[in-house]
Each structure stands twice: as C-alpha cells, then as structure tokens.
Structure 1
Amino acid sequence: MDFRKISNVTVECVIFSLENAELKILLSQRELQINTSGNTKLNDWIVTGDFIYKTETLQQAASRILKYNIEYNQVHQEQFDTFGDPNRIWKEKDIVWLKKLDAGTRLVSVGYISLLAADMFKNKKSSSQWFSIKELPELGFDHTEILKSAHEYLQKKILMEPLIFELLPNKFTLNELQIAFEAILDIQLDNRNFRKKVLRKKYIVLLDEKRTGFSKKPANLYIFSKDIYNKIVEKNQLFIF
C-alpha cells in the first residue's frame, strides 16, 4: 500500500446510529492552535473523513476511516453522493485548516453512509461525539450540505431496501422498528396500520422469544430474514410502505 495521500480527493463518512429514539451522527472535533500560548483559531465539528491514499479504492478508504474512529462488529457502508463544486471551499477558517494539512482548496469529496446498530460498536477517539440530526453543532466546510444529502439518501433508501435493519439489533420488537422509521423519516406513523403492514411481510419473522423489562407486557421479538427477502421481493418494489 502506498500511504501517500492524494491531496485533493477526500472520502467523507457520514456515520449513522439510533439512540433513545433519535437518529444520531458521529462528528469529529476540529481544532487549530495559532501559537504556542494555546489560543484556538477555530473550534468546530466536521464529518469524519480523510484524504484517500494513492493506491487504495474509495471503499477501502471508507473502511479505513471508519475503523480508525469506531470499534465495531458489523457495519453497512455505501456511497451516496459526490461533492465537487469548485467554489465549495471559501471560508477563511477552512482555507487555514487545509493549508495546515498541505492541501489545496480545490477538493472533490466522495460521501459514504455508514450504518451502525447501537449495540455493535464503541468510539475509539475522544475527539469524536454523537449528535442528534436535529441538534447539530457548528460545522466546517460544506458539511451541513453533506449531512443533508446523506439524510435524504437514507430516507429514500429505507423505503426501497431493508437498510433499516442495519441500525437495529438482530432481534427487535415491532415498536423498535416503528421508532426507527419515525426517527429517520421524521414522521409519526399510525401504530395499528404500521403493524398490519409489517406483519404481512414474510421476511419479518416472529421468534418464540419475548423482550422483558421495558414494559409491563413482554414484547414479541422478530428477526429480518435476508434469505426470504431475496427470494420474494422484486427489484425496485417498495420495502414497507
């Protein structure tokens, strides 16, 4: 592997997870000291990313970036958009930051979404923090646009493909599934209608197990069967709704 970096191509990993009925995103803190006294030139947050190595693929770069920041058991990653506006880097603080990295201001960034179930990972870096999609801090570069694009992409994909299960434990309740859809789509679903639609799906399989301890009545547990899904679902067919 040639570890020299291409200074005008980055991979940006928008890392999603669900916690307490909220869709959350992992961001990295960006700090820059301007002198030895410790005064800070800038202090904000950015999408987790890096420049690509000369001999690695985009997918390899996305995997490397995720592994550097997160210890995980399983993850789903896929490319969602590319950002290459020649005028996307114009703020003084971003130009100063790139000069520190010996990079120019003409950058092309390739965006990847990464989906992590809440019980399948832990943070590696203290400079990384989870934020609610609804309560984001000040962001550097054009990363507000990148997050908006990633969120919209995820909203569309979970209606067409079973990506929602990448954010859930392997065994889940119908309530957990509904909460996940509501958090990502930012809507309220009718409980009765949602359950009727879900229970008609043969690839959502009822287990002979119940989850206890969260309510007075134990809740049935289900799993998503990828094998059944692949056998019966036609391409481009709506997944749930």
Structure 2
Amino acid sequence: MDFRKIDNLSVDCVVLKLEDNALNVLLRKRTLNLYNENLPVIDDWVLPGHYVLKSNNLGETANRVFKELTGENHFNRNQFRTYGNAARIKSEKDVLWVRSRGAKIRTITVAYYLIVASNKELLNMDDSLKWFKLKSLPQLGFDHLQIINDAYDDVKTKIITDPLIFDFVPIKFTLNELQVAYETILDVELDNRNFRKKVSSKSYIVPLDEKQKGVSKKPSRLYMFSKDVYNQVVETDFIIHK
C-alpha cells in the first residue's frame, strides 16, 4: 500500500446520532500552539477526516475514518457533496493548520455522512472527540459548519422517501422511538394516532413477538425494518410520514 497522501484531496465525515431527543454531530478537537506571538493559537473543533492516500479511493478513505470510530466497515455511507472553492481555506488559523500538516492551501474535500444508531457507542471515543448538539455547535475550523448544515439538509430531504430514518434507531425499535426520530430530525410534531396508523400499513415495518426490557413503565412492542420487503415495494410505497 502506498501511504503517501494526496496533499490537496481530503475526505471529511459528518457522523450523526440521535441522543437526548436531539440530533448530535461528532467533532474532533483541533489544537496547535507554536508559541510565536506572530502566529495564532488554534483551539477549536473540526469534522473527523483524512487526506486521501495515493493507494486509496474516496470511499476507502471515508471507510478508514468510520472504521477508526466504530470498528466497522460502513457501506451505507452517504457521499453528498464536494467542496473545492479556492477561498474555502482563507483564515489565518486554517492556513497555519494546513501548512503544519504539509498539505496544500487549495484543497478539494469530498464529504460523507454516517448515521450511528441511538443505542450504539463509538469504539474510540477519546478526549479529542465529543458529541455536540446540532443546534449548539462550538467554533469550527475551515468551512465545516457549512458542510454540517449541508449534510443535515441532505438527511432531511432523503428521509422523506428513503429508509434513512431506520439508521437512527436501534435494530429493534419501538414506535415511539421511530416517531421521536422523525420529529427530532424534521423539527415537527406528528399526531401519534395518525403516525401509528400509517406505520401499521407499511409491510416493511415488521412487528416482533418481543417487548422492551429493563424499562420502569409498561414495555412497548418492538419492531424491525425489513430491507428485503422495502426493496420489493420501493417503487409504489412511501416512507412513513408521507
């Protein structure tokens, strides 16, 4: 494998998760202090990412990021946009950071997002990584705020017609978990009775002979999403809230 990087081509990854009834994004701490009064101190946050190696393609690079975080290969990654504006790296801090990495100022970034189920913990969650609510993000480097907002817009568009919503909930989920996921991501309030009626009409949402465990209140029935059934009806059916 050729471990030399292509120093003007990178991949940035937006990792999303529902937690505490809020949509969260994973960020990595970016720090640099050269102890030079003429140079700024860098202390902010950025998206996880890598420069593309000469022996890797874009998808392999994104997979490398996701595998470092989750320990798994993620073939359900979503590539949603490329960023190549000549002025996208222009602040003093961003220029200093790129130069400290031996890369070029003019960098093209291909962005992906990955959805982590609400009950899943990341494999390598060290002090440099932290979940932030999408509505209360810290100071970000580069154009990463724009990348995050674009990823969110893409998710909101796709969950209307694609089964993306099921990536946000556990493999076995309750109808309440599914409804809360929709309401949180779309920032809407759904009628509970109407929602459950629509769910019951979807052949790809399969009721199980199982109920929640370890809850203080009355346990709710569990359901699963069947991708095989969904693929058979995809041309004639719609995702739940339509």
User: What TM-score does the superposition give when structure 1 sets the normalisation length?
Assistant: 0.92
Match of 1:120 in 2: 120
More strand by share: 1
Match of 1:159 in 2: 160
CA contact (8 A) 1:80 1:111 kept: yes
For 1:74 and 1:3, the matched residues in 2 are separated by 22
For structure 2, list consecutive stretches of 5 or more residues without a partner in the other structure.
none
Match of 1:7 in 2: 7
1:159 Cα shift?
1.1
For structure 1, list consecutive stretches of 5 or more residues without a partner in the other structure.
none
| Aligned residue pairs, count | 238
Question: Structure 2 matches for 1:126-205, cutoff 5 A?
Answer: 126-205=127-206
- Could you say if the C-alpha distance between residues 21 and 74 of structure 1 is closer, same or farther in structure 2, counting changes exceeding 3 Å? farther
User: What TM-score does the superposition give when structure 2 sets the normalisation length?
Assistant: 0.92
Helix, strand or coil for the counterpart of 1:206?
strand
1:73 Cα shift?
8.1
Match of 2:50 in 1: 50
Supply the AA of the counterpart residue of 2:197: K
1:123 Cα shift?
4.2
For 1:225 and 1:155, the matched residues in 2 are separated by 21
Supply the AA of the counterpart residue of 2:179: Q
For 1:108 and 1:40, the matched residues in 2 are separated by 24
Match of 1:85 in 2: 85
CA contact (8 A) 2:16 2:114 kept: yes
Q: Deviations over 1:92-141 (max 9, x none)?
A: 11001011011121111000011111333324132010111111111000
Question: Structure 2 matches for 1:219-230, cutoff 5 A?
Answer: 219-230=220-231
Match of 1:216 in 2: 217
User: % of aligned pairs identical?
Assistant: 45
For 1:190 and 1:34, the matched residues in 2 are separated by 56
**Greater shift after overlay, 4-13 or 205-214?**
205-214
Match of 1:239 in 2: 239
